[in-house]
């Protein structure tokens, strides 16, 4: 008899609509929270909650757990041009050379680059691809030696920048815009797929060429092969500055070379065969602040591409279902307090301990932050997507306080 009474609401027409209404309200609220999450993540604005979460998750993974995967480790080779510099009389190109009163500027040695690209142009299809994060936006007298070899290199993508207008390489090569500067001046945390609405960024262009997938924009929504995705990517920093170990000439296994050292090796193309070639300045001259420390520009571009290649970036059904279940449970608990014993205990404690409104707000806020951090770990690790902590926790806390105060307000309205 007691068991029948316990489940009486399942067979009573009078009570069944009551539970349907509750579940319906929780479902509608969870859908609203899902939409809010997508809107917040779709923004390119870098928020402080993102930086803090990403920083500590990186510390937890890399240093405490020792989980530090290196995708395609044996298929990537780094070519550092930091020590292969030349002087030019064009003072608009590069930074002024030290101790020369600014009479000349320093650029990457064009003759060495010409040897490298000439070799690549004579081996089409024998290396995976070459990404070159060197700006060739101003012409120089030394460009004549480099022009032919670099324009004959087909599997190549070079950097371009946007500074009031597009500044593309002076050579006839394929290029894409580079934008690893934080939009609001803070640390770099994410990179756009489309920059300034229509300019496809370097990692997105590289991903398209190597994977065959295609990004496009329709009615303001970014699509990947027709599936909706975010316009921003939070790169997983698989490779960092400390991972670049320069091997002595003659060793069999290499993952990074200075350009000049590489060219001295007999048959140096064997070190590049079948690999993704990353060319750029990996020194302190081209570093940018990120949530994982200072990072060279070429590594930011590479890690963003690898994130696109190895993590799901579309708004997947699984991710939406995960959040709907989580938000649905939180919404139902917030609105209806289904466990009467816990609610009664909560009311007794609140009655005996006079907690100011601000303290109640802080306690509830921290509770929601804790729940969001837990679900964020699942979302970030399995779906590569961040969920806003501060904004959603603030919203939930205000809603919870309003719900808690509603019986008092309703009684006050009835008295009036």
Query: What is the DSSP secondary-structure string of 290-307?
Result: ETTEEEEHHHHHHHHHHH
What does pTM read for this prediction?
A: 0.77
Q: Flag whether pLDDT at 228 surpasses 70.
A: yes
Q: Is the dihedral of CA 365, 368, 369, 370 positive or negative?
A: positive
Q: Flag whether pLDDT at 33 surpasses 70.
A: yes
Q: What is the pLDDT of residue 180?
A: 65
Higher pLDDT, 55 or 160: 160
Angle between helices 16-42 and 317-336 (to 10 degrees): 130
Q: What's the CA angle centered on 262, arms 261 and 267, to 5 degrees?
A: 130
In the structure encoding, which two tokens stand for residue 148, read together? 């032919």
Task: Give percent of the chain above pLDDT 70.
Answer: 77
Range in 156-170, 186-200, 278-292 the model is least confident about: 186-200
Q: What is the pLDDT of residue 79?
A: 94
Higher pLDDT, 196 or 153: 153
Gyration radius of the chain's alpha carbons: 28
Q: Flag whether pLDDT at 159 surpasses 90.
A: yes
Q: Band of the pLDDT at 301, cuts 50, 70, 90?
A: very high
Residue with tokens 């997983």: 236
Range in 64-68, 200-204, 322-326 the model is least confident about: 64-68
Q: What is the pLDDT of residue 64?
A: 67
Domain boundaries, the chain: 2-42+316-415, 68-310
Q: Flag whether pLDDT at 103 surpasses 80.
A: no
Higher pLDDT, 313 or 264: 264
- Residue-wise pLDDT for 113-128, tens only, equals 999 999 999 999 999 9
């Amino acid at each position: 008899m007691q068991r029948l009474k316990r489940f009486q609401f399942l067979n009573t027409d009078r009570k069944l609509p009551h539970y349907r209404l509750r579940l319906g309200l929780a479902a509608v609220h969870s859908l609203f929270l899902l939409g809010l999450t997508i809107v917040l993540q779709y923004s390119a604005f870098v928020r402080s909650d993102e930086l803090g979460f990403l920083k500590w998750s990186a510390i937890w993974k890399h240093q405490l757990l020792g989980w530090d995967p290196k995708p395609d480790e044996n298929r990537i080779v780094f070519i550092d041009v930091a020590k292969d510099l030349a002087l030019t009389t064009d003072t608009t190109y590069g930074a002024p050379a030290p101790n020369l009163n600014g009479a000349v500027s320093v650029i990457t040695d064009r003759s060495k680059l010409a040897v490298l690209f000439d070799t690549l142009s004579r081996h089409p299809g024998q290396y995976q691809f070459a990404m070159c994060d060197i700006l060739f936006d101003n012409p120089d007298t030394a460009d004549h030696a480099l022009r032919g070899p670099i324009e004959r290199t087909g599997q190549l993508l070079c950097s371009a920048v946007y500074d009031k207008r597009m500044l593309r390489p002076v050579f006839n090569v394929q290029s894409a815009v580079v934008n690893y500067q934080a939009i609001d001046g803070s640390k770099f945390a994410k990179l756009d797929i489309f920059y300034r609405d229509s300019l496809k960024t370097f990692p997105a262009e590289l991903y398209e060429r190597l994977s065959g997938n295609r990004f496009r924009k329709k009615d303001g929504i970014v699509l990947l092969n027709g599936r909706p995705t975010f316009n921003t990517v939070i790169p997983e920093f698989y490779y960092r500055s400390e991972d670049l170990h320069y091997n002595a000439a003659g060793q069999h296994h290499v993952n990074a070379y200075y350009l000049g050292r590489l060219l001295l090796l007999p048959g140096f193309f064997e070190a590049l065969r079948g690999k993704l070639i990353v060319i750029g300045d990996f020194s302190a001259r081209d570093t940018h602040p990120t949530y994982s420390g200072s990072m060279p520009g070429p590594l930011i571009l590479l890690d963003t591409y690898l994130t696109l290649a190895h993590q799901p970036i579309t708004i997947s059904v699984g991710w939406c279902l995960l959040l709907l279940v989580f938000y649905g449970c939180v919404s139902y608990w917030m609105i209806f307090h289904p466990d009467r014993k816990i609610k009664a205990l909560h009311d007794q404690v609140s009655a005996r301990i006079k907690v100011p409104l601000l303290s109640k707000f802080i306690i509830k806020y921290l509770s929601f932050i804790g729940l969001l951090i837990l679900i964020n770990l699942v979302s970030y690790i399995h779906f590569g997507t961040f969920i806003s902590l501060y904004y959603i926790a603030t919203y939930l806390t205000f809603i919870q306080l309003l719900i808690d105060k509603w019986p008092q307000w309703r009684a006050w309205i009835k008295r009036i």
